[in-house]
Structure 1
């Protein structure tokens, strides 16, 4: 028996309840529980596949209430505390709750071997061993899900959840995208055979969210919104691929629809996430007026929870994107870091101020912002957040480079920005953002143009466009470099 319904938006870093829209796609996940809960269970799994964690959790708990012996209902609740493509994958504030559900699932033990396989696998994620790091847990879960797939090669759900497990272990510094390619190899044939399955299309898009693989995700991107047309996340998620390919009009339409759905569902995080992608796309098509309208909508929102990374990131990045892309350096200088936001978000505000100061001819003041970024980087490293520490280090180098340029040290400026570009090229972006405010390699092209080096500038712009096709600044820069050679 299959469930047909829809999903709401994914939750980014914490548990966001996105409501229960009207259509979730088609899912069939047989369980050894009371027959009356089979359909509700399928529906709960469909919600889970679209990362509607709050709604899925409620649905699984409803199944457990109707059938107190249903071990898989507790498996489902525990799964909602696992956020595979976001950071952290196992939020510390909900980990104990996930362990408790997992213990209940193990205690109840389903009668069928298939159900026991799923529960054994997830138990690896929630082992009561405080010495295990999240990465240890996700690797153990991945291996256990591989065994579930091996036990029944016809189990579509096992393959989808195995692909999810693979992505939970994909390193942002692995430029070979090995885990993503493994997931794609599993999901591609499933997508052809199950075109209305929400998880297959959704996870394919995540697996293909890189410059190398984006074209492989285009069919899934075109399909996912029609699988779940009422869902803000299903409406937004295709724009990850559209952004990678420079399909700006498609991205704009995707995020207009997603923002509207998220707003109607009371999903602030989903709304802001779509708005950030929308501003990014507007700026690439010269639709500055529309981008500023989005900023006006942002200002009209009620007070935001800036301790929530995804909310803080999107709301901070949007005005910075407009100021820097338009080279409004006074606006950039006026950017104030949001109070209560994570250091990784504060960093982009400090960067904006530093870039604005440097490009306004105030190198000493800009250098002070670079030093502040070094301090934020140190805080992030002490907290174990290596990814955002590395990103903040890149931002610091960019500010230092433009400060050196403003001070007349062109050789030092080029060296600093070239190094920043090399480091940025080696790290994949997180799904929380459509991309850097301005890629370092695109900035390098701008700097080389300012130094009257059109040949090297053109090469830098071409390299930037290979990684981020269709970016307006890089295309303008390439045209100018070509005309001045």
Structure 2
């Protein structure tokens, strides 16, 4: 494997890189998605769907979680927390993404105003959680809303000591309040909260998941090794839970474990796709990307090529933004690790229309490496100039707070500051 560009390869993999009288902490829910103890106001027949949705939400299986919350709403149209849950599926804090309009629409189905929505809550805790989600889908830019939401959840964490769900969502809100990079104090606080939950419930999927994210870097990864070893076994029905331990394994150079995790995660996503009759975008391209990278670190170049060939086919069948984005990344990792800029894989073409600046920067970087190896100085200079212009233009779409003006962000959406920073590194 090529050892000359390890930092660039990490940048590429990083671009890849939730009864009428309610009682909390009493209803034990055990499944292949983890274990929680949470009871809220709603019809008895709707409770299992809400609880399953909550478990899926903790493992970032947002679409499936939403489906469960919608089932709960069908069974009990006044189940306020089911609408809260649906709105929460439209906020992906770790990925710095949010479907703002959809989240507001979910809340407005319950009632037209915040006051009307809170009036339908059956307990003070439920009203407080509804008030908190109103902040996420309220006024201001996304970064400001994330910070305000974390502050709100801190108040609830202090108001409801011992409530695991409040604690878990507070820990997640802390991680989501950091728009770019790692804030040591904030991430350590999130980790401590997650660890506190796990002392009382070692099978809580959110606590395991958020602890891994809190320590998701080479300097801290060993602190989440136990959680990484445990999470996939606690929530094997969540494809993302099968993938997530590999964040720690990559940081620790445990390539056999990286491969095993992502083989299992990708297989689970394919099984779900086939069971539900979904299209190729239901494949976990994220896990497939990490699997390709793991194979390359193991020296299994032929297996990496097979994945890249498959990804080309999937993209041709359904050229979605997601597929095209991941094809760019996979091509990038393959070329950086193998140095095959003169080979056939360097000639893979991808339509970049609508892709985020970070994906465009990867593409231009690869074209620049080809020009460099061909000693084409004019071509190389033109590529560098084009990269700079594209980055500056994308930067104009980012507010001074470092978040996209229309709120979403993400690898194939509107740019956030992290995207701009990554593009600058590649430039």
Matched, 1:67 2:80: no
1:337 and 1:300 mapped to 2: Cα distance? 12
1:14-29 matches, within 5 Å, as: 23-29=32-38
What do the CA deviations read for 1:99-152 (whole angstroms, capped 9, x no partner)? 52575672543231121121121122122x3xx111111111111111111112
Q: 1:456 aligns to what?
A: none
CA contact (8 A) 2:312 2:327 kept: no
1:37 and 1:230 mapped to 2: Cα distance? 21
2:144 and 2:67 mapped to 1: Cα distance? 29
* CA-CA distance at 1:269 after TM superposition: 5.5
Q: 2:401 aligns to what?
A: none
Q: 1:206 to 1:270 in 2, by over 3 A?
A: farther
1:346 and 1:102 mapped to 2: Cα distance? 40
What do the CA deviations read for 1:332-389 (whole angstroms, capped 9, x no partner)? 7635443323332122111101012113322221111111111220221022132212
Matched, 1:320 2:310: no
Q: 1:71 to 1:223 in 2, by over 3 A?
A: same
1:44 and 1:236 mapped to 2: Cα distance? 19
Unaligned runs of 5+ in 2: 1-26, 274-279, 399-414
Q: 2:300 aligns to what?
A: 287
CA contact (8 A) 1:344 1:380 kept: no
What do the CA deviations read for 1:371-427 (whole angstroms, capped 9, x no partner)? 11112202210221322122112211xxxxxxxxxxxxxxxxxxxxxxxxxxxxxxx
Unaligned runs of 5+ in 1: 6-22, 397-485
1:255-270 matches, within 5 Å, as: 255-266=262-273, 268=281, 270=283
The structure with the largest alpha-carbon Rg is 1
Q: 1:302 to 1:373 in 2, by over 3 A?
A: closer
Q: 1:387 aligns to what?
A: 418
From 362, 384, 407, give the equivalent of 2:376.
362
Matched, 1:144 2:155: no
Q: 1:303 to 1:92 in 2, by over 3 A?
A: farther
1:46-445 matches, within 5 Å, as: 46-88=55-97, 90-92=98-100, 94-101=102-109, 103=111, 106-127=117-138, 129=139, 132-174=140-182, 176-266=183-273, 268=281, 270-301=283-314, 303=316, 308=321, 310-331=322-343, 334-340=347-353, 341-384=355-398, 385=415, 386-396=417-427
2:301 and 2:181 mapped to 1: Cα distance? 33
CA contact (8 A) 2:216 2:251 kept: yes
1:270 and 1:177 mapped to 2: Cα distance? 34
Three-state SS of the structure 1 residue aligned to 2:91 is coil
TM-score normalised by structure 1 residue count: 0.72
Q: 1:81 to 1:145 in 2, by over 3 A?
A: same
2:283 and 2:190 mapped to 1: Cα distance? 25
CA contact (8 A) 1:166 1:179 kept: yes
1:95 and 1:41 mapped to 2: Cα distance? 17
**Structure with more relative contact order (C-alpha pairs < 8 Å, separation 6 or more):** 2
* CA-CA distance at 1:173 after TM superposition: 3.5
Q: 1:302 to 1:320 in 2, by over 3 A?
A: closer
* CA-CA distance at 1:305 after TM superposition: 5.6
* CA-CA distance at 1:318 after TM superposition: 1.1
1:381 and 1:40 mapped to 2: Cα distance? 42
1:249 and 1:102 mapped to 2: Cα distance? 48
Report the number of matched residues: 373
Three-state SS of the structure 2 residue aligned to 1:265 is helix
2:239 and 2:395 mapped to 1: Cα distance? 34
